[in-house]
Structure 1
Amino acid sequence: MRLCFINPNSTASMTDKIAAAARAAAAPDTEIVALTSRTGPASIQGPEDGEAAVPGLLALVAEHADAVDGFAIACFDDTGLFEARRLTHKPVVGIGEAAFLEARTGGRRFCVVTTLSVSIPVIQENIETYGLAADCIKVRASEVPVLALEREGSAARETVAEEIAQALAEDRPDAIVLGCAGMADLAQAYAARFGLPVVDGVVAAVRLLEGRVRA
């Protein structure tokens, strides 16, 4: 099985992080192909960036549709998800979609901790579109810019952790969803630190996509 993870932004270091997380979660017989948009913005923060990223994303889907068994859109906003599904008969999932479905397993209710406030309306709209509004307590912003997660030595990881702690105190969720592909390397550490499930969309997308391809 060959699964293609497409980073709709043009930051290659984020693609590398996505690929590492996906490969660690994949079954032994699953090959992960990770692609970076050639024309997308450096990061996707809000609807304008999302719109700018769609053409490059769709170009990669069309280019690789015959070479892989399924696609994951590796932006938590699920940028261009429905447009991509119209281009191929192969399964296409979004990492946001996958994270929400995994977080609600067993009747859990969850909070999303994302980057900037500008992303909140997009994420909330997606949750409603997927019919999962009753499962999500709140979408919270840590006010960490996406690219800060790529800088060694930045305070971004601790700032996100502080927002998770506040969510636990105020909202009392059963699970936390990390609302950015750039957080793909943080879920296990946060789960150990806070003692509850912390869902990363990249890992969740591997599981969801493997299941859909096999089906």
Structure 2
Amino acid sequence: MRIDVINPNTTASMTAAIGHAAQAVAAPGTRIVATQPSFGAPSIEGHHDEVWGAAGVTEQVRLGQAAGADAFVIACFGDPGLAAARELASGPVIGIAEAAFHCASMLATGFSVVTTLTRTCVIAEHLVVQYGFERTCRGIHGTDIAVLELEDPASDAYGRILASARDALARDRSGAIVLGCAGMADLCRRLQQALGVPVVDGVVAAVKLAESLVSLGLGTSKAGDYARPLPKTYVGLAAPHGPVAN
């Protein structure tokens, strides 16, 4: 089984770290291919970044389909391009926010999200509503750690995320924490040990869900709004990305 884990930003070191976290939980026989777009932003930290990230996701899904990928994981907490990727893909496509919310809701009656910049909290709030988790998500907390600072030991990212998670558990009366950035994946186990509650990283949750769906022989429906995109000619910057007839 091949699962392509797509980092929608263009920072190669983050792509490698995400791929390592994904491979660490993959079942024997599962091959993780960590990819990133050939264009876009070095980090996804707002709506404008997300537009380019979503376009990059579709680029990587097309390439992965041609290379024989069985499933895809979108490794950005905004789940950019998820619906478009599902139009393109035959196999399952899992967004890490969607996966994390589902898993956390099965581990506790209420969970809190700890993410990076406060300005991105509204993006997570929109996803909570879109996915129907208003009753189980009790709070979304920004740490104001920039995405690329997660890789900088001088930022004390672990300490700041730990403090925010402790505050969230007490303030929200939550029983679990969801990490709101793919770049936090390598901190998950330490945080869980320190907090004493389930800490859900969406990258590994999405990989295991993707494996399960592929093992069950299930793929993305091609009926309704996930039907393949209508073939047409795109122009300008989008010219190489126009849908073609299958």
Partner of 1:68 in structure 2?
69
2:161 corresponds to: 160
CA deviation vs aligned residue, 1:75-117 (integer Å, no higher than 9, x gap): 0110110111111221101011111111011453100000011
Structure 1, unaligned runs of 5 or more: none
Counterparts in 2 of 1:179-198, with a 5 A limit? 179-198=180-199
Q: 1:4 maps to what in 2?
A: 4
Separation (CA, whole Å) in 2 of partners of 1:201 and 1:107: 16
Partners of 2:112 and 2:129 lie apart in 1 by: 14
Offset from partner CA, 1:135-178 (integer Å, 9 cap, x none): 10011101111110011332222111111111122112110000
CA deviation map 1:186-212 (0-9, x unaligned): 110000001000000111011110111
Q: Answer yes or no: is the 8 Å Cα contact 2:76–2:96 preserved in 1.
A: yes
1:18 and 1:27 map into 2 onto residues whose CA distance is 16
| Per-residue Cα deviation, 1:45-87 (whole angstroms, up to 9, x for no partner) | 1211101212222111111113110000000110110111111
Kept in 1: contact 2:115–2:181 (CA 8 A): yes
Match of residue 176 from structure 2: 175
Q: What residue in structure 2 maps to residue 44 of structure 1?
A: 44
Aligned residues: 215
Q: Which residue of 2 aligns with 1:18?
A: 18
Q: Secondary structure at the match of 1:138?
A: strand
- Give, as a single letter, the amino acid of the residue that structure 2 aligns with 1:52: W
Q: Does the CA-based 8 Å contact 2:169-2:176 persist in structure 1? A: no
Q: Percent identity?
A: 45
Within 5 Å, give how 1:1-215 maps onto structure 2.
1-66=1-66, 67-215=68-216
Q: Give the SS at the match of 2:132.
A: coil
Q: Answer with 1 or 2: which has the greater Rg.
A: 2
Q: Cα deviations across residues 7-26 of structure 1 (Å, max 9, x unaligned)?
A: 00001111111111101111
RMSD: 1.1
Q: 4+ runs of 1 displaced by more than 2 Å?
A: none
What TM-score do you get using the length of structure 2 for normalisation?
0.85
Measured in 2, the distance between the counterparts of 1:171 and 1:131 equals: 18
CA distance in 2, matches of 1:140, 1:154: 18
CA distance in 2, matches of 1:108, 1:211: 24
Partner of 1:65: helix, strand, or coil? helix
Q: TM-score, normalised by structure 1?
A: 0.97
Question: Which moved further from structure 2: 84-93 or 175-184?
Answer: 84-93
Change (3 A) 1:108 1:207: farther
Residue type at the aligned position of 2:13: S
Alpha carbons 2:107, 2:198 under 8 Å: kept: no
